[in-house]
Structure 1
Amino acid sequence: MIDVSFGPQVCTELTSGATREWLVTDGLGGYAMGTVSGLRTRRYHGLLVVAGDTPASRKVGLVSLDPAVTLPSGARVRLGAHEWASGDVDPRGFELLERFTLVDGVPRWRWRIGDVVIEREVAMLPGRSCVAVVHRLVSGGPVRLDLSAACTWRDAHGERRADGPIPRVEQVAGGALVEGAYRLAGPGWTPDGQWWLDVHHREEAARGLHPREDLWCAGRFSDTLHRPGDTVSVLAWKHDANPEPPPATEVVALARRRNRQVVATAKPADDVQATLALAADAFVVRTAESPVDVVAGYPWFGTWSRDTMISYEGLFLCTNRADLGRELLRSYAATLSQGMLANTADTGRVEYNTVDGTLWFLHAVSRHVTVTGDTDLGDELLPALHAVIDAHRAGTRYGIGVDPADGLLTQGAPETALTWMDARVYGVPVTPRTGKPVEVNALWINGLAGVAELTELAGRDASGLWRAHRQATDSFRRRYPAPGGWLHDVLDAPAPAYPLGGSAHHDDDSLRPNQLLAWSLPYAPLEPDEATLRRVAGALLTPLGPRSLAPDAPEFVGRHRGGPAERDGGYHQGTVWPWLFGPFVDACRRAKVPVDEAFVGLDAHLTEYGLGSVSETADGLPPHGATGCPFQAWSVAELLRAHRAGR
């Protein structure tokens, strides 16, 4: 594991300590999350965030446990940190931090108050909505430690205010039951019951969202730390029929032991791979509906089929969890309808609204069989895979279908954005990419070949699939090269002067990274050449991965910042996407272009934003500040896959 450790110059300075975030997860889609400084900067931050029936339906429960230390002199020192609507930050416990570190994935803070040193660790119990917070006296003492429990119970995407109902808190043995939803347990519980008004979340303000909420101080836990080694611990867990969890110190030990096992199972070649293997584990979850699924990103995403299938090889095959991956592929195959994979979106309903998610599914199944030799799964899913091919050749939803003239896949319908570049502003797609997108057809050609190979492995005739593959490949090679020396992004797109469905079309030669898949996939339609790759890299590559649009394009947006409309408008118009680093590396390696030095920026990024993980996006302009989710599945998965493929 790489060293993730910060001293006082980071911990005590908010522009550094409050922009680096930690995450621990429960394996169910719930989590605990916050910053190195201890300041909550997002509405999503909390010590107990519980997943509902799906990971997208999370609720925030225990928000914080604010420590206050009473020294032998009688002085009382508060170690918590909150920002208020007034602009004040009070208390400022981060100013007493001398170190923050991740130890086997478990965050640890160390405060120094003169000769008194106190450490805190936070861990979640694997497989249960339960968090343990352990405080340990390292030196000095005796001291009294009070822990004020700031609580709520609300949707993770919202906030709760004092003008609504007061949270219901019942005193129970060893602590309290909040809203009938979660338990708090620890020593010396004393009920309180008052609102902390106008807590401010600076990251939500920066994203143009409502930044304030009110918290309910339900009470406090108290105990004395007499000598070094003594602990004061608190547990918080979802109230259900399960027995009480083990002691908090045991939860921390269990979490650390499991994290070590996750890394050992992955058999990493170096510390970066070990760190990424543990990061990958956070996204693999069990839900009420499935024994295994993938969270697309923390803290606000749920499960998305496209993200899951792009991430599949990195999350499952590169971490030696093909057994879990097998079950995931089977469960997703059961969602196929009219040849399309369900996009289990955060809306809470099943939708069939992607053109590429299903094609990534074909790729995932093919890679699973190729890497593991699991031909039994290939045989089992083969009828479903053939049904996908047949539906696409015949035509399915949203105008998705094969053009018989060239064998390429076309797509598009009014007000839809079906590719991974699917952002909308006020309901209008920013990049609809109607027509024949380059990566969609690279995936289509790759999928035809993959299914053909699986068909032959099953002892069946695949000649029809190979004919379709040859026709599409020949058309791709003839039609996609653009005059500028790269590939068209979309063929047969509606001309700008015509509405969707008009009679005139054009070929969009915007320089985008989607073309990387035409060289990177196992059955890619093109062999990469060094000159073209260097031309693409020169325009798009940044230390954190490729930009989504070349900077000289009129539509280029260099900063992925502002309110929802501004951010969505720039989402795919120049914003950097680290997941595309994987296809870039694959293409370079196939072209025999040296690429090892390109890893430096992303490897360093593991300590810059979401600690030990990789962000969703970054600004297209220097210094390429990270944006979006701090912890993103396909970013981690593709960086891990690229690392392992080079070994």
Structure 2
Amino acid sequence: LKLFQKEVDERNPRDNFYHCLVNAAHQFHNTKNGSECYLLSGYPWFKSRARDTFISLPGLTLSIDEVGYFEKVMATAEKGYKEFMREKPVTVSLSEIDQPDVPLWAIWSIQQYAKVVGDEKCLKKYGKFIFDILHFLLEGKHPYMRVEDNGLVYVDGKGKVMTWMNSTVNGRLVVPRNGYIVEINSLWYNALGFAARLNKIEGDAQFTETLEELSARCKESFVKTFLNDYGYLFDYVDGNMMDWSVRPNMLFAIALDYSPLTADQRKSILDVCTRELLTPKGMRTLSPKSGGYNPICAGPQMQRDLSYHQGTAWPWLGGFYMEACLKIYRRTRLSFIERQLVGYEDEMQTNCLGTLPEMFDGNPPFKARGAISFAMNVGETLRTLSILEKYTDII
């Protein structure tokens, strides 16, 4: 009986939505070589990927009061990214570490850490890593991304996978994105603002001035480059090529703490996303009104690859949508967000019990597809619950 009770006490209960997600969060933990800590990107076939790690890390750790595991995973990832910046062999098991948005997601992840422990402790622990990343980018050392004179970052990777929309068919990209990419520049602007804030605490005043001046240029160029006459953002711009597709990547420009857009511009973008992309299971990767809409990821491998980011709905994107809603409309959207989360709670008793799958069809009945358990979806849902709780506590 004592042994039985001991085993029961060590297990996380799955008696409600939140506890199911906490239990799922722990299932992504992975330790190698005794001290290297990772987050698996999903089950059953995903390994640890750099982008997925930084996106899911705050939700899977900070949102459930597990700051210690955040620091352990970040220590492993920091080691790997420093090796990458020094052009040394990467000794940690993080794939896709060379992707251009990875260092910017790393800074975003640390930014969430600062909200929990405070700016001063964050600066002491991760300040050097953040500033090393920025110097690495400003000095033009990233193989696929450069900082332009207008303050924006340009991704140069024609024919290569450069963003999270990474499906290929016969070696060709299904969603080719090159040049000024909207979510990468949103992350870049956010990183500049956060780094300038930290550097003011204890740092070189000249570097702070450099960051603020660059941020101002980025802000002006961002609006000129991405905002179109229909009240939403181009997905990417490369010379005279502007992608008019309505995609959820514009959400990051209105959800991140530092936005280059005015309040009216943010509201307009949110309204477009609500009308064309929102589903009960997250955000569609493409609007039904845009060309190439293909919302059902099923069938042979090629057919699934062609539909992977062409209309399927992803809960982790819904996390940033709900964060944007609360930032723009505050408490007036609380009940709306709570109803939106019901669509995720319904999944606790289907597919893989107690967790969220990789994606859903973009059309009713929104059937689950892909990996049976996906770290970014679980992490962002937990982070949304944490944000929602803070707004609720204010009432």
TM-score (norm 1): 0.55
1:485 paired residue number: 231
Go from structure 1 to structure 2 and tell me whether the alpha carbon gap of 1:255 and 1:585 turns closer, same or farther (over 3 Å shift). Answer: farther
Amino acid at match of 1:389: L
Supply the distance in 2 between the matched residues of 1:344 and 1:537 (Cα, whole angstroms). 41
Match of 2:258 among 523, 527, 530: 523
2:57 aligned with 1:322: no
Is the Cα contact below 8 Å between 1:606 and 1:613 reproduced in 2?
Answer: yes
- Report the alpha carbon displacement of residue 472 of structure 1 after superposing the two structures with TM: 0.6
Amino acid at match of 2:24: A
Supply the distance in 1 between the matched residues of 2:166 and 2:91 (Cα, whole angstroms). 13
- Report the alpha carbon displacement of residue 340 of structure 1 after superposing the two structures with TM: 9.2
1:260 paired residue number: 12
Q: What secondary structure, in the 3-state scheme, does the structure 1 residue paired with 2:241 have?
A: strand
Supply the distance in 2 between the matched residues of 1:411 and 1:359 (Cα, whole angstroms). 13
Amino acid at match of 2:253: A
Is the Cα contact below 8 Å between 1:338 and 1:388 reproduced in 2?
Answer: no
TM-score (norm 2): 0.88
- Report the alpha carbon displacement of residue 371 of structure 1 after superposing the two structures with TM: 1.6
Is the Cα contact below 8 Å between 2:51 and 2:97 reproduced in 1?
Answer: no
2:368 paired residue number: 626
Superimposed CA distance per residue, residues 545-603 of structure 1 (whole angstroms, 9 cap, x where no aligned partner): 00000112221112101122211121111111111011100111112162322222112
Match of 1:607 among 349, 366, 372: 349
Amino acid at match of 2:356: V
Which has the larger helix fraction? 2
2:304 paired residue number: 567
Q: How many residues align?
A: 379
Go from structure 1 to structure 2 and tell me whether the alpha carbon gap of 1:624 and 1:529 turns closer, same or farther (over 3 Å shift). Answer: same
Is the Cα contact below 8 Å between 1:330 and 1:381 reproduced in 2?
Answer: no
Match of 1:581 among 318, 338, 350: 318
Is the Cα contact below 8 Å between 1:341 and 1:352 reproduced in 2?
Answer: no
Superimposed CA distance per residue, residues 82-136 of structure 1 (whole angstroms, 9 cap, x where no aligned partner): xxxxxxxxxxxxxxxxxxxxxxxxxxxxxxxxxxxxxxxxxxxxxxxxxxxxxxx
Supply the distance in 2 between the matched residues of 1:343 and 1:477 (Cα, whole angstroms). 39
Supply the distance in 1 between the matched residues of 2:313 and 2:269 (Cα, whole angstroms). 20
Amino acid at match of 2:57: Y
1:427 paired residue number: 171
- Report the alpha carbon displacement of residue 483 of structure 1 after superposing the two structures with TM: 2.5
Match of 2:221 among 472, 475, 478: 475
- Report the alpha carbon displacement of residue 534 of structure 1 after superposing the two structures with TM: 2.2
Is the Cα contact below 8 Å between 2:285 and 2:309 reproduced in 1?
Answer: yes
Supply the distance in 2 between the matched residues of 1:438 and 1:456 (Cα, whole angstroms). 28
Is the Cα contact below 8 Å between 1:340 and 1:358 reproduced in 2?
Answer: no
Pairs within 5 Å for 1:12-161: none
Supply the distance in 1 between the matched residues of 2:156 and 2:346 (Cα, whole angstroms). 39
- Report the alpha carbon displacement of residue 535 of structure 1 after superposing the two structures with TM: 2.1
Is the Cα contact below 8 Å between 1:379 and 1:458 reproduced in 2?
Answer: no
Go from structure 1 to structure 2 and tell me whether the alpha carbon gap of 1:303 and 1:350 turns closer, same or farther (over 3 Å shift). Answer: closer
1:297 paired residue number: 42
Match of 1:448 among 192, 196, 220: 192
Unaligned runs of 5+ in 2: 390-395
- Report the alpha carbon displacement of residue 344 of structure 1 after superposing the two structures with TM: 8.4
1:360 paired residue number: 105
- Report the alpha carbon displacement of residue 255 of structure 1 after superposing the two structures with TM: 4.7
Is the Cα contact below 8 Å between 1:305 and 1:342 reproduced in 2?
Answer: no
User: Considering only CA atoms, is the larger Rg found in Structure 1 or Structure 2?
Assistant: 1
- Report the alpha carbon displacement of residue 639 of structure 1 after superposing the two structures with TM: 0.8
1:512 paired residue number: 247
- Report the alpha carbon displacement of residue 415 of structure 1 after superposing the two structures with TM: 2.2
Pairs within 5 Å for 1:265-414: 271-288=16-33, 290-336=35-81, 337=83, 339=85, 351-373=96-118, 375-404=120-149, 406-414=150-158
Q: What secondary structure, in the 3-state scheme, does the structure 1 residue paired with 2:237 have?
A: strand
Amino acid at match of 1:634: M
Which has the larger strand fraction? 1
Go from structure 1 to structure 2 and tell me whether the alpha carbon gap of 1:491 and 1:454 turns closer, same or farther (over 3 Å shift). Answer: same
Supply the distance in 2 between the matched residues of 1:334 and 1:320 (Cα, whole angstroms). 24
- Report the alpha carbon displacement of residue 531 of structure 1 after superposing the two structures with TM: 4.1
Is the Cα contact below 8 Å between 2:49 and 2:97 reproduced in 1?
Answer: no
2:289 paired residue number: 552
- Report the alpha carbon displacement of residue 395 of structure 1 after superposing the two structures with TM: 2.1
Q: What secondary structure, in the 3-state scheme, does the structure 1 residue paired with 2:295 have?
A: coil
Supply the distance in 2 between the matched residues of 1:400 and 1:340 (Cα, whole angstroms). 16
Supply the distance in 1 between the matched residues of 2:178 and 2:86 (Cα, whole angstroms). 18
Supply the distance in 2 between the matched residues of 1:372 and 1:341 (Cα, whole angstroms). 32
Whose RCO is larger (CA < 8 A, sep 6+)? 2
Superimposed CA distance per residue, residues 463-513 of structure 1 (whole angstroms, 9 cap, x where no aligned partner): 211111111112112321122221111022xxxxxxxxxxx6311121000
Is the Cα contact below 8 Å between 2:158 and 2:178 reproduced in 1?
Answer: no
The percent identity for this pair of structures is 28
- Report the alpha carbon displacement of residue 374 of structure 1 after superposing the two structures with TM: 6.7
1:235 paired residue number: none
Q: What secondary structure, in the 3-state scheme, does the structure 2 residue paired with 1:418 have?
A: coil
Supply the distance in 2 between the matched residues of 1:563 and 1:642 (Cα, whole angstroms). 34
- Report the alpha carbon displacement of residue 627 of structure 1 after superposing the two structures with TM: 0.4
Supply the distance in 2 between the matched residues of 1:401 and 1:588 (Cα, whole angstroms). 32
Supply the distance in 2 between the matched residues of 1:445 and 1:393 (Cα, whole angstroms). 13
Is the Cα contact below 8 Å between 1:529 and 1:591 reproduced in 2?
Answer: yes
Go from structure 1 to structure 2 and tell me whether the alpha carbon gap of 1:304 and 1:531 turns closer, same or farther (over 3 Å shift). Answer: same
Supply the distance in 1 between the matched residues of 2:117 and 2:94 (Cα, whole angstroms). 33
- Report the alpha carbon displacement of residue 318 of structure 1 after superposing the two structures with TM: 0.5
Is the Cα contact below 8 Å between 1:335 and 1:342 reproduced in 2?
Answer: no
